[in-house]
Amino acid sequence: MTPMTLLEGIRDGLITEMNGDDRVLVFGEDVGRNGGVFRTTDGLQEMFGEKRCFDTPLSECGIIGAAIGMAVYGLRPVPEIQFQDFIFPAFDQIVSEAAKMRYRSGGEFTVPMVIRTPYGGGIRGGHYHSQSGEVHFTHTPGLKVVVPSTPADAKGLLISSIRDDDPVMFLEPKKIYRTLKGEVPEGEHAVPLGVGRIAREGTDCTVVAWGAMIEICEKAAEELQKSGKSIEIVDPRTLVPLDEKIILDSVKKTGRLVTVYEAPRTSGFGGEIAAIVAEKAIEYLEGPIVRVAGFDTPFPYALEGIYMPDVRRVVRGIEKTFTW
């Protein structure tokens, strides 16, 4: 085990797979010589050469289109989109081509590629560098959507994503790139997709969150513990495929549910989780389902601290479940 930041866990996962499989290659805007805007790929070009880690033109559509072609013909590309906010010029390639290739070809072709992209707020990036657009991809059949929240999971989930035969959206919470540290297994470490984890055990209320929101929810749980409330935190790890069982089992135990996410509240993925619980476990509920999320506005620059869920808002959301 080695102490690493979340960013270092991602880099270690890339190095592990590039060492073990020469079909894996990394490319995108500034990922080669400069090591990426966040320096996530720093050193990879020196280690593996310019043919396996290289810079591209500033064309998201071109980056993803080229990656699809590479994947169809046997490589395992890991393209990086510099910020998730910049991904929309490539949206047609992702949704209409990568996600549908297996289906349109009757299973003859697959697209084993991982699209890495930093997402979410926390760096005062404003509305062009802070969006949380996971639902654009969870709503697209054929894509898998992964969001790590610990350094060990960042490595393990990335390794599993690269080995997967279908396209994966790997959303990296930039807010905790360097602020979150943890022990990471050395060498081989694969965390299976579709298997969630209990980030904190509790008995009185289930909180489902992902990415940078896990840390916020843990602080809220500590605050509520002072008043005798025991909060369980579920981290799905992958939004698609979703580990419904771990969520339902937790809600059946606690009788309450709060979903916490950075994206705008309306149509956020937390609403999907609420619908699943309402359909499959409503008889276990002892209070209303509550969503704590961003607001239905463009992501602000000056008011980032108000827009993003914080400990106070999460605590207040959990307390609402006890007022029924």
Q: Is 129 one of the annotated active-site residues of the chain?
A: yes
8 Å CB contact between 194 and 243: yes
CB-hemisphere CA count at 13 Å for 300? 11
From the list 71, 51, 97, the residue with the least C-alpha distance to 164 is 71
Both tokens assigned to 193: 């997709």
Q: What are phi and psi of 88, to 5 degrees?
A: -65, -30
Give one DSSP letter per residue of 210-227, joined into a string: -TTHHHHHHHHHHHHHTT
Three-class DSSP category at 95: helix
From the list 211, 190, 191, the residue with the least C-alpha distance to 199 is 211
Which stretches of the chain are assigned E, i.e. beta strand?
Answer: 2-5, 24-28, 53-55, 76-80, 114-119, 144-146, 168-173, 181-184, 197-200, 205-209, 231-235, 238-240, 257-264, 290-294
Catalytic residue among 127, 129, 136, 139: 129
Is there a cis peptide before residue 241, judged by omega within 30 degrees of 0?
yes
CB atoms within 10 A of CB 42: 14
Q: What are the residue ranges of helices labelled H in 126-210?
A: 134-138, 151-163
Both tokens assigned to 301: 């620059």
Whole-angstrom Cα distance, residue 304 to residue 124?
7
Cα separations (Å) of 249 from 44, 109, 234, 246? 42, 37, 10, 5
Residue type for position 190 = A
Active site residues: 129
